[in-house]
Amino acid sequence: MKFWQATAAMWSYLYVRLGSYKAWSRAYRAIWERKFRDVKLVSFSGLSQLGPYMKNGALWVKDSWRELFDAVGSPERAQQIFSGAEPAPKEGLDCDEHAVFLVAVIQKSLATGVLVDKVKNPRFFTVMWFEGWKPKGHNVCLLELPPAAPLIASGLPRYCYMDYGEPSAPCDSIQEVADLVRKTYSKATPENTYPMIWAVSALDLTPEIVERS
């Protein structure tokens, strides 16, 4: 990794680790999304219901100037758009809002005992990388799965991610999930794709684990 790439990776690491990501997202919601605070999130009995639900009224586009530094909108506003209660805005919704909505409603569905799928601990998962000299990234919902049959005695969980549809293939570690996200969404060749960081955050975007890939 070149010096400027290492520098950019360090700034990205600090931006998430020191809570700037969380702070800017909270400020963004307070300024532009106050009217959605009292929206009650829905529950789902199966993960397969989420992909079709999120296709209602929302088309992915990249962030607008208001999401400078990639602020994450609220799951309540995302739900209103997905359900058709609010029109999809011109700037649309991107991976941030899909991911935070998934974390919020899966968390609620688990807490109320509605969800039948064997998953737990949904968290907001950020993966960043370089495609040549261009920094790229993607946010998804990270899920824990039961241990694979040979590892049941160890109690070690497996992991997968969700973003726009069904859960991904199971992975044995969070690092493997980060590698899978990068492989899936990088448009560059493997030789021109350079890992930057990955981060696991709570629903409120408090960072729990931040690693330089």
Write the pLDDT tens digit of every residue in 34-81.
999 999 999 999 999 999 999 865 555 555 445 546 789 999 999 999
Cβ neighbours for 113, distance < 8 A, ≥ 6 positions apart? none
* 72-106: b (≥16 Cβ within 10 Å) or e: bbbbbbbbbbbeeebeeeeeebbbbbbbbbbbbbb
Number of structural domains, the chain?
Answer: 1
Distance between terminal CA atoms of the chain?
Answer: 11
Residue 152: the pLDDT is 59
Q: And the tokens for 6?
A: 């290492």
Instruction: Report, as an integer, the average pLDDT of 153-166.
Output: 86
Contact call for residues 73 and 82 (beta carbons, < 8 A): no
Residue 127 lies in domain:
3-212
Mean pLDDT of the chain: 89
Reply yes or no on whether the pLDDT at 107 is more than 90. Answer: yes
188 exposure class (CB count in 10 Å sphere: 0-12, 13-18, 19+): middle
Residue 122: the pLDDT is 98
Contact call for residues 114 and 44 (beta carbons, < 8 A): yes
Number of separate helices (H) and strands (E) present in the chain: 6, 5
Contact call for residues 94 and 155 (beta carbons, < 8 A): no
**Strand (E) or helix (H) holding 201:** strand 193-201
Q: Among residues of the chain, what percentage have pLDDT more than 90?
A: 66
Instruction: Report, as an integer, the average pLDDT of 163-189.
Output: 94
Residue 65: the pLDDT is 45
Q: And the tokens for 198?
A: 């990955």
> Which of 8-12, 63-67, 101-105, 127-131 is most confident?
101-105
Reply yes or no on whether the pLDDT at 140 is more than 70. Answer: yes
**Strand (E) or helix (H) holding 30:** helix 20-32
Reply yes or no on whether the pLDDT at 86 is more than 60. Answer: yes
